[in-house]
Structure 1
Amino acid sequence: MAERTQERDRERDRERTLPRIRLDQPRIRRPRLLPEYDPEAFGRLSERIARFLGTGRFLVWMTLTIVVWVLWNVFAPPSLKFDEYPFIFLTLALSLQASYAAPLILLAQNRQDDRDRVNLEQDRKQNERSIADTEYLTREIAALRMGLGEVATRDWMRSELQDMLKELEARDGERRDLFPGDGDRHSDVPDR
């Protein structure tokens, strides 16, 4: 049993040292020295922090904190003061806050730029589709207009029928003129 375990360990070591030959098998994960994190979760957190840093509520809380800090360290008994004038610890805390706030704000802005870029690309594609649809509909309407030019409309048919009726009436009038007695004769014997 121990031999099998040792053989499996040797096989694993061999697999780790040899380059991966087959592409249909996943790579063996190497241990990482740095902790892994989800970039999306970190980005969402940075956006929430940046959104809070840009509010009036943050400014009010920051101002109140600084005022209380300064008043405490000026008027408190000497044994309770933790940051006497020139407030080195306060300066350090504000510098630390600023050093974290700036990159978080930049990260949130970069994520917003990425979203804006994606939205702009989608809007551009939608505009292209709209233009293509409009051009298609324009061509279809032009084809329908051309087709309607060749189709007999009700008014055209009416005018044609009226013209034919007038022609027939004129011919019938000419025929009566050629055979004036034709209408008076009531004979059963046909004309020869």
Structure 2
Amino acid sequence: MARASRTPSLDAPRGRSGMLQRAPQPSSDRFGRFSEAFARAMGTSGFLIGMTIFVAVWLSWNIFMPPQLQFDPAATNFTLLTLILSLQASYAAPLILLAQNRQDDRDRVQIEQDRQRAERNLADTEYLAREVVALRMAVTDFADDVITRDVLRTELRAIVEHLDARWAQEDAAVEPEAR
């Protein structure tokens, strides 16, 4: 039984020896849609205004309320608020990157489709240009054989005049005999 060759392909990157390599797995569609919706929401002015209001209310509450009602006092430098914002940022960055990667993939597919469409259009245009050139050459080659309307009229008039003259001669020849 022949063994499959373990020679790496030249178009694939070489892996590090001794390390396990895992093929990249596509993200699940639901999670991808979630990340895109999340990134889209974070990029809006509504999100920024809402976050600003949230932080302002948080800070105002913990500065101006009596100490027994404060849950994140200024004396501790708003540790809980810092933790919440850090947690939000630690999740936001990867989700935004995932959404950007998905958009890059869609853009790549769109660019490839546009490139293929442009190639087809170019091939069609070149074909039509060759056909037009062939037609021009054919018309030029046979231009002497082509009869225009004016040439045809002139020729027909000459034939009619010739026939009229001939009939006139025949009529003249027949009239003396009839007398």
Deviation at 1:141, TM superposition (A): 1.6
Please identify the structure whose Cα radius of gyration is greater: 1
Q: Equivalents in 2 of 1:62, 1:82: separation in Å?
A: 19
Match 2:63 to one of 71, 74, 78: 74
**Is 1:126 matched up with 2:121?**
no
Report the RMSD for the aligned CA atoms in angstroms: 3.4
**Is 1:147 matched up with 2:138?**
yes
Q: May I ask how many residue pairs the two structures share in their alignment?
A: 148
Equivalent in the alignment of 2:17:
none
Matched ranges for 1:40-189 at <5 A:
40-85=29-74, 86-149=77-140, 150=142, 152-153=145-146, 155-156=147-148, 158-159=150-151, 162=154, 186=177
Deviation at 1:146, TM superposition (A): 2.6
TM-score by length of 1: 0.63
Residues 65, 157 of structure 1: CA spacing in aligned structure 2 closer, same or farther, 3 A cutoff? closer
Counterpart residue identity of residue 63, structure 2: V
Task: Please identify runs of 4+ aligned residues in structure 1 that moved more than 3 A.
Answer: 155-158, 160-170, 182-187
CA deviation vs aligned residue, 1:10-45 (integer Å, no higher than 9, x gap): xxxxxxxxxxxxxxxxxxxxxxxxxxx961111110
Residues 101, 159 of structure 1: CA spacing in aligned structure 2 closer, same or farther, 3 A cutoff? same
Counterpart residue identity of residue 70, structure 2: K
Q: Equivalents in 2 of 1:119, 1:129: separation in Å?
A: 15
Gaps of 5+ in 1: 1-36, 174-181, 188-192
CA deviation vs aligned residue, 1:149-171 (integer Å, no higher than 9, x gap): 32754x5365267368759979x
Deviation at 1:148, TM superposition (A): 2.9
Gaps of 5+ in 2: 1-25, 166-172
Q: Equivalents in 1 of 2:110, 2:161: separation in Å?
A: 73
Q: Equivalents in 2 of 1:39, 1:57: separation in Å?
A: 28
Deviation at 1:147, TM superposition (A): 2.9
TM-score by length of 2: 0.67
Equivalent in the alignment of 1:19:
none
